[in-house]
């Protein structure tokens, strides 16, 4: 596969864990400098940066910017441009979940989910796009969800935010369509990350069921292949979208969901 990212620089938001970390690792393995972002234990995050840099030979740093804070997002992008000279690849991945009936949905949770899962995409793109335009190349990949295409009950903020991500992705793609910048969204089904492991435990408690049964009958109820999506499959797709083979793929929402949205 043609590799257009060797020597380039990527920011992957929410990459101290789960899907984001797998994407950051794959980009680094392909010769791309990476700026990790997200929360967690400072010593563990530093160890991840050092180990990944040693293993891949690229520059790996970490920004603790909070994706619900526009000024911190702007500062993260500016710092990456100063340190690396560019932000060529932007992966908007940070996201959180809260499950509740809509009438009892806490307003602060609604605002937080909209800010982290949707508005952060606007603020990162707003900050990074001028540099991509100046350099004449860029890749923006927004990690949405199957919940960007279809809904589930009790996830109103998440579903609204992820549907919003798809609309935003299309608008940005059209605005830059005549340049060599593409903007796409990936819509994963269930992936076994800390975000979902928490949901398995909660549901097992709520339904008084063994965790294996929760996985099959509750979590993967809407995922026809009954298997979690591998983080490596999502990382490989991001890498493909960064290649020159994907030059004409823009404004899309790509499901990786075991058939969920085929129903
Ligand atoms: P995760 O909980 O494993 O990781 C989330 C990451 O986001 C962590 O690095 C965390 O520190 C970071 N983060 C959270 N709040 C942040 C904030 N305010 N500022 C900066 N970073 C913040 O989750 P995951 O499952 O890897 O999810 C990653 C993305 O994929 C999310 O957008 C999620 O909605 C989406 N997604 C996940 C699944 C799934 O089944 N796991 C399915 C579809 C879509």
Domain boundaries, the chain: 9-190+230-262, 192-228
Tokens read off for 22:
């797998």
Ligand 1, pocket-test mutation among 14, 155, 191, most atoms within 8 A of CB: 14
pLDDT attached to residue 240 = 98
Tokens read off for 67:
């994706």
Q: Which residues contact 128 (CB under 8 A, 6 or more apart)?
A: 11, 77, 87, 90, 138, 140
- For residues 210 and 167, is the Cβ–Cβ distance under 8 A? no
What CATH number belongs to 9-190+230-262? 3.40.50.720
Find out whether the beta carbon of 142 lies less than 6 Å from any atom of ligand 1.
no
Catalytic residue among 123, 154, 158, 190: 158
Find out whether the beta carbon of 93 lies less than 6 Å from any atom of ligand 1.
yes
Which residue ranges in the chain fall short of pLDDT 50?
Answer: 1-2
pLDDT attached to residue 107 = 98
pLDDT attached to residue 1 = 41
Q: How many angstroms does the Cα of residue 84 sit away from the middle of ligand 1?
A: 25
What torsion, rounded to 10 degrees, do the Cα atoms 219, 20, 253, 241 define?
A: -140
Q: How many angstroms does the Cα of residue 195 sit away from the middle of ligand 1?
A: 7
Q: Write the DSSP string, the chain.
A: -----TT-EEEETT-SSHHHHHHHHHHHHTT-EEEEE--S-HHHHHHHHHHHHHHH-S-EEEE---TT-HHHHHHHHHHHHHHHS---EEEE---------GGG--HHHHHHHIIIIIIHHHHHHHHHHHHHHHHT-EEEEEE--GGGTS--TT-HHHHHHHHHHHHHHHHHHHHTTTTTEEEEEEEE--B-SHHHHHHHHHHHHHHT--HHHIIIIIGGGG-TT-SPBPHHHHHHHHHHHHSGGGTT--S-EEEESTTGGG-
- Residue-wise pLDDT for 62-94, tens only, equals 999 999 999 999 999 999 999 999 999 999 999
Q: How far apart are CA 50 and CA 9, in angstroms?
A: 17
Ligand 1, pocket-test mutation among 16, 37, 95, 124, most atoms within 8 A of CB: 95
Find out whether the beta carbon of 99 lies less than 6 Å from any atom of ligand 1.
no
pLDDT attached to residue 3 = 59
Q: What is the pTM of this model?
A: 0.97
Find out whether the beta carbon of 123 lies less than 6 Å from any atom of ligand 1.
no
Find out whether the beta carbon of 128 lies less than 6 Å from any atom of ligand 1.
no
pLDDT attached to residue 131 = 98
- For residues 213 and 1, is the Cβ–Cβ distance under 8 A? no
Return the axis-axis angle of helices 120-135 and 156-175, rounded to nearest 10°: 20
Find out whether the beta carbon of 145 lies less than 6 Å from any atom of ligand 1.
yes
pLDDT attached to residue 194 = 87
Q: Atom 41, ligand 1: which residue's CA is nearest?
A: 191
């Amino acid at each position: 596969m043609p590799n257009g990212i060797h020597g380039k620089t990527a920011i992957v938001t929410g990459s101290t864990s789960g899907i984001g970390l797998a994407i950051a690792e794959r980009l680094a393995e392909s010769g791309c400098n990476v700026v990790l972002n997200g929360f967690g234990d400072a010593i563990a995050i530093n160890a991840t940066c050092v180990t990944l840099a040693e293993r891949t030979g690229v520059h790996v740093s970490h920004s603790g910017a909070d994706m619900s804070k526009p000024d911190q997002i702007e500062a993260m992008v500016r710092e990456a441009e100063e340190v690396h000279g560019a932000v060529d690849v932007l992966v908007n991945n940070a996201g959180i979940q809260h499950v509740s009936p809509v009438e009892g949905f806490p307003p602060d949770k609604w605002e937080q989910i909209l800010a982290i899962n949707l508005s952060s995409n606007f603020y990162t793109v707003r900050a990074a796009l001028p540099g991509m335009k100046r350099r004449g190349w860029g890749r923006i990949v927004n990690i949405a969800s199957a919940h960007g295409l279809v809904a589930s009950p009790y996830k109103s903020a998440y579903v609204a935010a992820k549907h919003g991500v798809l609309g935003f992705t299309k608008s940005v793609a059209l605005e830059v369509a005549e340049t060599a910048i593409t903007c796409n969204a990936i819509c994963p089904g269930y992936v076994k990350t800390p975000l979902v492991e928490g949901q398995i435990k909660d549901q097992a408690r709520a339904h008084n069921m063994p965790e294996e049964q929760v996985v099959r009958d509750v979590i993967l109820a809407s995922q026809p292949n009954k298997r979690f999506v591998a983080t490596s499959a999502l990382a490989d797709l991001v890498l493909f979208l960064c290649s020159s083979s994907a030059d004409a793929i823009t404004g899309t929402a790509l499901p990786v969901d075991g058939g969920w949205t085929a129903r």
